[in-house]
Structure 1
Amino acid sequence: MDHVEWVSLPGTQEERRWIEKRLETLSGKESIILSAAVMRQPPKTMRDAIHHLASLEDYRICFPAGSYAQLGNFYLQHAGHLPERAFYYVDLDRVGMMYEDQHPGLFIGNCYVVYPIDLSSNCFAERDEPLPTDEGWSVKVKLGSPANPEGVWLRLPDHSLINDGKPDELDIALHELRVDSLEDCILMDARCCIPQLDELMEQYADAQELVSIGNDLGYALEEQGQGMPHFTERFAAALEFEHCRDLRLALDISQNLHCYEWVPCDGLKEYGRRKLLEAGVSEELVDSGCIDLEGYGADLLEGAGYVLTADESAYIARNNMEFLYEWSSPEGVGMTLQ
């Protein structure tokens, strides 16, 4: 069954819309993985199809590896630690078959797709389970070429640079486009995981530059501020505070979250309590229930110049720490509070 025919499977309108939206930006790598997943376990309902689409990251892909010999070569290059001189004495077909035995999967085109270890993960058991979100990416770029004018989607970040050089999204996309580099590609469309950064096509005309900055943002989002608590919420609040519409500025903000003071609204009561205790108010009075600690905390923050986010989930303000610019310029960021 072709992927576009999934909308004819039994399901709801909400599920149909979810599938259509997800398939719209399916990358070249994801399309290959999805083909392997469907051949192994054809979907019977839209919910099954949705689970396939939400489980693509559970698969691994070897590229180029369209034959046992290529698969054997892929393994030796990236995991075999075999001296180069010894390559001439290796039966690559046998190595590829050995790899298949240890990592069951399926050859799709010029790739070998490795199935997840947990086979049950591909079974969608609960029909009332909430629809998954399409996450784990920073920017999706649609690239075209003379050999492939319809274009191929590229899902960033590409992990080849941080994954022992194993070919990933970019190499597979270039193969599908039948070009050697991004310089040979035409930028057709671009989307960002951050909703307010919706003007990428106006900001970038060069595919290479957009892919580079999209990769950097992807790595930053994966690092989550080196484990900073509530990184996602802090980042979203800072983007809103700076009225950020530029991908470069967003990347700089992600690296400078220490320049923002952030207080979640569910912590206002504790904030107000702490400030009263610091002012010398007795703990007995503070905890008596006679004081609206939450309202007092909000009043203090607003008086100090904090701004309430649009979803009313937190207050945020700039502090006087230096904001370091690597991708954008100082003109893109508001004045630092003194």
Structure 2
Amino acid sequence: MKNLEYLWKDIEVTEKENEYLEKRFAEMSVKEKYILEGAVQIVEVNNASDLINLTEQLSNFDFYYKATDNKTLGEYVARHKECASNEILPFIKIDHLGNEYHEDFNGVFTDNGYVYQRNTLKQIYDGSNLDKMTGDDWTVKIKVGNKDYPEGVWIILPDYEFSSLEPDEMAIALDALGTNKWSRCALLDAKCVVPNIKELAEQYDSIEELISDGNNFGYVCDEQGQGRAFFTEHLESAMELEGCTRLDFALDISQNLNCYDFAPKEDKLERYGRLLASKNGIVEPDTILGDNFDYTLYAKADIDNRGLVPCKNGFIKSNGEQFHYEFSKKLDSMGISME
């Protein structure tokens, strides 16, 4: 893989920006690096702000692995986008298809594949909010190496090859490692975007088990509890209440949020009150009473009535509903309190 440090070594950066970029590039997955190789040919990078904004939004680019020219691009599109079978693939004008696709999407070819910009980038970094940068879209990231690549590579989860049927993080990383089996690899490091999940690499006996839970937790977080209001705050508050430090238990908590009554913190109480009033049939929106209803006060009354206690992301308490374990061991054997 190419050394991409040149991207920020030749531009003016502050000490904190340099520290951020060094960490971001050090933990960049193989797929992210391949995307970045093309993205810098599409988006102009003149300063540290441009580069940080770009590395925060690599998920706004699509990457077609090993589509390095019109012919291989046409084959990729036919096979993965149009689901062409092996029987009809020989009859597809793949050169022509690839050329048309390239002209339509105006992407770039790199040594590793085809990159094109799917969405417009936002100005996320303003020069003063480095602490708000997350390193783009990820839930769990693992670092895996083997005897041929002892320094290892990072992989971002969740991986979506099972649904997209396109090579994603895991397949691309395994290819870079020169293997097709996790059993031939060693886990070097692991992290979760939820900060209280600590020592993640020590929690699993195999890479496969960690990947399975990492993917499942990632899918849940990406789906936001299938559109559940205040899902992330609710989940993190339940984890805080339980003193959760394990990924498998976090996954179980995410499937049992009905066991926890929750309300968000002060700045979101007005929206919460609106949703609650509508759910309870108290007032109708866009009516005289609805327009003159104090939704924040109603939310606070609900918090008091249910006896919710303050936490980092709002107010919460366990409501006594049965907790169903699917991914983790029962807490007696994990040493975690349910108080």
TM normalised by structure 2 equals 0.80
Task: Report % sequence identity.
Answer: 33
SS at match of 1:320: coil
CA contact (8 A) 2:139 2:157 kept: yes
CA contact (8 A) 2:53 2:124 kept: no
Q: Which residue of 1 aligns with 2:159?
A: 158
Distance 2:73 2:302 in 1: 61
What's the offset of the Cα at 1:315? Answer: 2.5
Distance 1:91 1:233 in 2: 50
Give the CA RMSD over aligned residues. Answer: 3.0
Distance 1:127 1:297 in 2: 38
Distance 2:171 2:203 in 1: 24
Cα deviation code 1:154-187 (max 9, x no counterpart): 0111111122x11111111111111112222211
1:142-157 matches, within 5 Å, as 142-157=143-158
Distance 1:295 1:54 in 2: 36
Structure 1 residues 145 and 198: alpha-carbon distance in aligned structure 2, compared to 1, 3 A threshold:
same
What's the offset of the Cα at 1:319? Answer: 1.2
Cα deviation code 1:291-319 (max 9, x no counterpart): x9999987766xx5x4432x3x4221111
What's the offset of the Cα at 1:56? Answer: 0.5
Q: Which residue of 2 aligns with 1:231?
A: 231
1:251 and 2:248 aligned? no
Structure 1 residues 294 and 125: alpha-carbon distance in aligned structure 2, compared to 1, 3 A threshold:
closer
Cα deviation code 1:46-104 (max 9, x no counterpart): 11111220120111011232333222211111222445432222333232222212222
1:238-277 matches, within 5 Å, as 238-266=238-266, 267=269
What's the offset of the Cα at 1:226? Answer: 1.4
Structure 1 residues 117 and 194: alpha-carbon distance in aligned structure 2, compared to 1, 3 A threshold:
closer
SS at match of 2:88: helix
CA contact (8 A) 1:225 1:231 kept: yes
1:59 and 2:61 aligned? yes
Structure 1 residues 67 and 335: alpha-carbon distance in aligned structure 2, compared to 1, 3 A threshold:
same
SS at match of 1:16: helix
CA contact (8 A) 1:72 1:99 kept: yes
What's the offset of the Cα at 1:23? Answer: 1.4
Give the letter for the 1:143 counterpart.
V
Structure 1 residues 58 and 299: alpha-carbon distance in aligned structure 2, compared to 1, 3 A threshold:
closer
Structure 1 residues 295 and 113: alpha-carbon distance in aligned structure 2, compared to 1, 3 A threshold:
closer
Instruction: Say which is worse superposed, 3-12 or 92-101, in terms of deviation.
Output: 3-12
Instruction: Say which is worse superposed, 223-232 or 61-70, in terms of deviation.
Output: 61-70
CA contact (8 A) 1:66 1:110 kept: yes
Instruction: Say which is worse superposed, 177-186 or 242-251, in terms of deviation.
Output: 177-186
1:328 and 2:328 aligned? yes
Q: 2:79 aligns with which of 71, 77, 80?
A: 77
Instruction: Say which is worse superposed, 143-152 or 21-30, in terms of deviation.
Output: 143-152
Cα deviation code 1:313-337 (max 9, x no counterpart): 422111121211110122256548x
1:115-264 matches, within 5 Å, as 115-116=117-118, 118=120, 121=121, 127-128=126-127, 130-131=129-130, 132-163=133-164, 165-264=165-264
What's the offset of the Cα at 1:8? Answer: 5.1
Instruction: Say which is worse superposed, 240-249 or 174-183, in terms of deviation.
Output: 174-183
Q: Highest Rg: 1 or 2?
A: 1
TM normalised by structure 1 equals 0.80
Structure 1 residues 97 and 300: alpha-carbon distance in aligned structure 2, compared to 1, 3 A threshold:
closer
SS at match of 1:9: coil
Q: Structure 1 stretches of 5 or more lacking a match?
A: 275-291
Distance 2:72 2:139 in 1: 31
Distance 2:167 2:298 in 1: 55
CA contact (8 A) 2:141 2:154 kept: yes
Q: 2:46 aligns with which of 44, 47, 69?
A: 44
Distance 2:71 2:155 in 1: 27
Q: Structure 2 stretches of 5 or more lacking a match?
A: 278-296
Q: Which residue of 1 aligns with 2:319?
A: 319
Structure 1 residues 319 and 76: alpha-carbon distance in aligned structure 2, compared to 1, 3 A threshold:
same
